[in-house]
Structure 1
Amino acid sequence: MQFDSQEVAYADMSVRIFDSTLAKLRGLGYEKETETEALYAAGNQPIGIQDGNVKYSGNLKVLNGELQKLNAAAKAAGYADILEVPYQVIVITVTYREGFGRPLQTDVLRGVKFSKYDKGMSQNDKFKEVEIPFLYLSLSDK
């Protein structure tokens, strides 16, 4: 049995939106969550665990120039900014390069809806990092 302690690194990840790779990406997190709760009947101990709705959410962290690029793409498509683009047309593709025995992995987030972003800076800021939270409808691997 062979063990390999090399994990995927941030540098091994690339993210594409609107057929463009995000060059000024500072971070990306996305998750799938299933609502769960204990199921009770007679007595005070649970007899099972019940599943409910599934929720997909995430957070994109980019430099301000990347946000401007995304907003420009939205304007070119006829929308005011990235928040106005319908979820039906936004897909985020996340690719993790193969290496050290791990295979190429691609995650596809479909039906992405960005919900907010902030603007502004503070004294002595050297750059502007923007967090853009989002919801999405499904997660699949290619």
Structure 2
Amino acid sequence: METNDPGKGVSPEEARELLNLAKGEESATKNPQLSWWFFIVQAVALAMIFIAQVFPAPFSSGVAILGILVALILGIRNVFYRRGYGVVGLDGDAAFPYLLIMLVLAGIPAVLAIGFEEWWLWLVAGVLAGLVTLEMGRRYRKATGNA
């Protein structure tokens, strides 16, 4: 933006205008619009990783790897890569509650499934991972205005 007088600095009005422009650009790129299909596929992929542990080793490993790849590729492609901007970092403040809840609700049953060798706890972990992801998606879409 050009100033009216090259000898002077930016006027308070121009500074406010520039700050508003920068804030608008930041909010436009900070939280991308994500459709429901993104959260549904993520929920299925994450649930699949846990539920696959009920099955024998070669199959469960393959399904878990597939689930991890789907979740990673989908997340990178839709959340971290921004057209015209490149790759952006994780918004830790926004992601932390989801990660903490996921760790507690899906992680504890998974640890108990390993510790007590109770296969059905993998099902609990998988269902909870899927439900937590869908709830996070609902909240995200509501917060970004595309609910």
TM range (shorter): under 0.3
Q: TM-score of the superposition, structure 1-length normalised?
A: 0.23
Bigger relative contact order, structure 1 or 2 (CA pairs below 8 A, ≥6 apart): 2
Greater radius of gyration (CA): 2
Higher helix share: 2
Q: TM-score of the superposition, structure 2-length normalised?
A: 0.23
Higher strand share: 1
